[in-house]
């Protein structure tokens, strides 16, 4: 992938500053100037473009490049389901207020359409012209209908007769069978017909929904194919034999399509007596929300696409013609269907610090010292193990935990259930509105309640996004608290894919603060003063602004001043303006922001002391860390991103890393990201992301993997293996 690749924000002319252009410093610079801000939705799209770019990066193994393409597809689906749907809703309700960037929702939506038409075309070009041929060279083939041999075609026909026909339900369109209410993102076909059926009907059109129970990839028998792994698309099989569903009629055309719908749940919490019951009622509607996008095969005739657009209430601007399967995410299972570890990332064993293995008593280890773990380079097992040990430990009297995302087969939930059954006082704060995990969270809440745990759903109007465990243990006649605080979720699968910090501690002041937060969530009362923790929506934003302002004052006084922030997103206007003021005062600031970033760096007199980087690699960057140099250097980890919703409308925790050894180690991690040039994108003043200019040295994730885990790159590959 060329190092000069850049991704534009596609902002309006009033926003666009070329990387070489600068604004003259002025005593009266207004930080409300829209030119100083990037639109959050367009920035979100830029992140997804950086993900798509990985599919072309030959330093990634081939099947991993395919995964990046499919992740891009999944991300884009969610972008339409949530962000585009939200914009359309604002326009419909005539809430056309602007953000700091000054763009109206209609203008943003127009920009999104132009960008998405381009990137979807790039997506399918990458699939058809790069990845599929490269996979074929590795004997992994996707055989289209025209490529089937006679024997393969006969086998596919038998498969359709035995596996597809019994579960498929074609729908002829007539007054008794109007256009069906199709499920969000489901694969469907529109079929044009000629002739009359047994009842004399002659409507000419039918819809064939592809059953979701069927795999989208059909493995062809080895004995009928060339050596290797050979697959046919379900869409090809249905297309080849669609006439079987319309006996005696002539099929004139068959074209796949897919509808994307608004998937954002809208639960009116005012007057709701049972949030769980209200949410259950809304979950079904997510599958049938308002249409926001129509994807069709690129050879579908205009009269049929016009008919589909009319039926789903969309316009030509919301039509996407695609050259390939419309539901690419369903191909994510391919790596499991082929035994090709050589085309995947090399495996590794996460590091395990001394004292935290399953054979150790973790409470005794924490009594001696705190532990700061960086997943997935270091194991998530200690987080699971402390709960397992607590469930069995006769000295443990109570466990409290927040649950945002856990997965449907959660070892952590199993440990909590065991603890409740063993007579421990188990209290869980389950966030029912964790987007797209609502159904799983309702299920795990029911399991916990059946085991005897106390389950609460946090505070209405504020998502509980903090990641906390509090364990109360009786030791030598006194109660002692142990805590886990994290930047990520209690999901063991994500802990292998996301970078996140975990702090395990027996610091009693810190644990007392955690206890106070739990009291706020489960009971009622005024905000209690915290000793160490900063928490949203009460103190976190205010204290962050004070910390940034303190750096600015230090710089103005000629003292050392530096800020390093690593987060998923930066969109909060007051935080951005505080960083601009710090830059004007001379504070050197490095921001490692994976996704959305509305701050525009490099503007002369405004943000010329700020650099913004985005790291995209093997693991999803998810850590939230803040470093401030002023006076005594201060380092924090947090569950919160620097977004309006996190700082104003969520329950979040930000906790200090006080032990010098742990703070130094965290700084070493941050410096690793700042020193690596490979797989790191830099945001320019013009709103573009440019890939590292030198491409020298291993990427940060590779360095951390070799430093913290039991990992040795294969001998056949370069020591600076790109991850």
Q: Pick out the residues of the known binding site.
A: 75, 405, 435, 498, 594, 622
Give me the DSSP letters along 466-518.
--EEEEEEEETTEEEEEEEEESS-S-TTGGGTEEEEEEEE--HHHHHHHHHHH
Closest CA to 46 of 487, 569, 565, 572: 569
HSE (side-chain half, CA atoms, 13 Å) at 111: 23
Q: What is the DSSP letter of 271?
A: T
Can you list the positions of beta strands (E) in 649-695? 650-656, 680-683, 689-691
Closest CA to 229 of 152, 141, 147, 151: 141
- Say whether 465 is catalytic: yes
3-state secondary structure 698-720: CCHHHHHHHHHCECCCCCCCCCC
Can you list the positions of beta strands (E) in 349-494? 371-375, 396-403, 425-430, 454-456, 463-464, 468-475, 478-486
DSSP strand pairing (650-656 vs 534-536):
antiparallel
Q: What CA–CA distance (Å, rounded) separates 501 from 378?
A: 9
What phi, psi does 538 have (nearest 5°)? -100, -60
> Residues with Cβ < 8 Å from 188, sequence gap 6 or more?
182, 207, 208, 209, 210, 256, 257, 258, 259
Burial of 462 (0-12, 13-18, 19+ CB in 10 A): middle
Structural contact between residues 13 and 21, judged by C-beta atoms closer than 8 angstroms: no
Q: What is the DSSP letter of 526?
A: P
Helix (H) or strand (E) holding 317: none
Instruction: Output the six-digit token pair for 284.
Output: 């079904």
Q: What CA–CA distance (Å, rounded) separates 506 from 479?
A: 12
Instruction: Output the six-digit token pair for 226.
Output: 């060339």
Closest CA to 252 of 189, 321, 306, 324: 189
Q: What CA–CA distance (Å, rounded) separates 621 from 615?
A: 7
DSSP strand pairing (319-322 vs 371-375):
unpaired
Q: How far is CA 415 from CA 398, 475, 500, 561, in A?
A: 13, 21, 21, 45
Which of these is catalytic: 465, 484, 515, 535?
465
Q: What CA–CA distance (Å, rounded) separates 514 from 58?
A: 46
Q: What CA–CA distance (Å, rounded) separates 516 from 22?
A: 48
Instruction: Output the six-digit token pair for 30.
Output: 């207004």
Residue 339, number of CB atoms within 10 A of its CB? 8
Binding site residue list for Mg(2+): 405, 435
> Residues with Cβ < 8 Å from 27, sequence gap 6 or more?
none
Place of tokens 């027996």: 506
Binding site residue list for ATP: 75, 498, 594, 622
Cis, bond preceding 19 (omega within 30 deg of 0): no
Q: What length does the chain have? A: 723
Burial of 127 (0-12, 13-18, 19+ CB in 10 A): buried
Helical segments of 54-98, H only? 62-78, 85-92
For the chain, the farthest-separated pair of C-alpha atoms sits apart, in whole angstroms, at 89
Structural contact between residues 397 and 422, judged by C-beta atoms closer than 8 angstroms: no
Helical segments of 241-324, H only? 275-286, 302-312
> Residues with Cβ < 8 Å from 468, sequence gap 6 or more?
400, 401, 402, 483, 484, 485, 486, 514, 517, 518, 653
Catalytic residues: 465
């Amino acid at each position: 992938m060329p190092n000069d690749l850049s991704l534009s924000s596609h902002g309006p002319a009033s926003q666009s500053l070329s990387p070489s252009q600068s604004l003259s410093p002025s005593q009266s610079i207004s930080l409300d100037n829209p030119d100083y801000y990037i639109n959050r939705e367009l920035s979100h799209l830029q992140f997804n473009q950086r993900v798509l770019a990985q599919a072309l990066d030959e330093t990634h193994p081939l099947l991993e490049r395919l995964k990046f393409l499919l992740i891009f597809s999944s991300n884009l689906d969610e972008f339409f389901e949530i962000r585009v749907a939200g914009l359309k809703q604002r326009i419909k309700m005539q809430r056309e207020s602007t953000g700091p960037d000054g763009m109206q929702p209609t203008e943003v939506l127009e920009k999104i359409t132009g960008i998405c038409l381009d990137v979807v075309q790039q997506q399918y070009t990458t699939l058809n012209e790069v990845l599929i041929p490269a996979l074929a060279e590795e004997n992994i083939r996707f055989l289209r209908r025209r490529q089937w041999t006679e024997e393969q075609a006969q086998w596919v026909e038998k498969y359709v007769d035995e596996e597809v026909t019994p579960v498929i339900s074609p729908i002829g369109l007539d007054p008794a069978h109007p256009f069906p209410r199709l499920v969000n993102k489901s694969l469907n076909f529109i079929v044009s017909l000629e002739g009359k059926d047994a009842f004399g009907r002659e409507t000419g059109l039918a819809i064939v929904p592809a059953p979701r129970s069927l795999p989208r990839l059909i493995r062809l028998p080895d004995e009928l194919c060339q050596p290797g792994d050979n697959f046919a698309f379900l869409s090809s099989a249905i297309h080849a034999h669609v006439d079987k569903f319309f006996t005696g009629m002539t099929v004139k055309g068959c074209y796949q399509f897919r509808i994307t719908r608004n998937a954002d749940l809208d639960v009116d919490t005012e007057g709701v007596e049972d949030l769980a019951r209200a949410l259950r009622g809304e979950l079904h509607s997510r599958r049938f929300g308002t249409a926001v996008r129509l994807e069709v095969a690129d050879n579908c005739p205009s009269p049929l696409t016009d008919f589909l657009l009319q039926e789903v209430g969309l316009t030509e601007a919301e039509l996407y013609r695609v050259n390939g399967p419309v539901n690419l995410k369903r191909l994510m299972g391919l790596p499991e269907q082929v035994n090709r570890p050589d085309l995947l990332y090399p495996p590794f064993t996460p590091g395990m610090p001394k004292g935290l293995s399953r054979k150790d008593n973790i409470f005794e280890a924490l009594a001696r010292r705190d532990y700061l773990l960086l997943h997935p380079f270091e194991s998530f097992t200690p987080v699971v193990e402390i709960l397992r040990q607590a469930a069995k430990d006769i000295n443990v009297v109570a466990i409290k935990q927040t649950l945002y995302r856990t997965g449907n087969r959660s070892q952590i939930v199993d440990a909590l259930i065991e603890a409740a059954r063993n007579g421990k006082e188990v209290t869980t704060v389950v966030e029912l509105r964790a987007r797209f995990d609502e159904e799983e969270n309702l299920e795990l809440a029911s399991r916990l309640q059946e085991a005897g745990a106390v389950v609460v759903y946090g505070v209405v109007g504020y998502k509980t996004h903090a990641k906390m465990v509090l364990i109360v243990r009786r030791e030598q006649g006194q109660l002692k608290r142990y805590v886990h605080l994290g930047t990520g979720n209690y999901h063991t699968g994500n802990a292998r894919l996301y970078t996140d910090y975990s702090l395990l501690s027996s610091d009693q002041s810190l644990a007392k603060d955690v206890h106070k937060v739990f009291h706020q969530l489960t009971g009622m009362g005024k905000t209690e003063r915290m000793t160490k923790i900063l928490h949203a929506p009460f103190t976190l934003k205010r204290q962050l602004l004070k910390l940034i302002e303190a750096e600015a004052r230090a710089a103005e006084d000629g003292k050392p001043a530096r800020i390093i922030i690593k987060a998923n997103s930066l969109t909060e206007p007051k935080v951005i303006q505080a960083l601009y003021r710090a830059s004007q005062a001379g504070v050197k600031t490095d921001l490692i922001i994976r996704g959305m970033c509305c701050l525009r760096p490099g503007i002369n007199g405004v943000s010329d002391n700020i650099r913004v980087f985005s790291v995209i690699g093997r693991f999803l960057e998810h850590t939230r860390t803040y470093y401030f140099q002023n006076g005594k250097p201060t380092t924090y980890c947090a569950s919160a991103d620097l977004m309006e919703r996190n700082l104003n409308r969520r329950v979040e925790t930000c906790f200090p890393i006080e032990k010098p050894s742990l703070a130094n180690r965290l700084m070493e991690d941050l410096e690793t990201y700042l020193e690596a040039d490979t797989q790191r994108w830099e945001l320019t003043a013009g709103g573009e992301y440019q890939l590292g200019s030198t491409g020298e040295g291993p990427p940060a994730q590779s360095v951390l993997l070799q430093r913290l885990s039991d990992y040795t790159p294969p001998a056949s590959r370069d020591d600076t293996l790109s991850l």
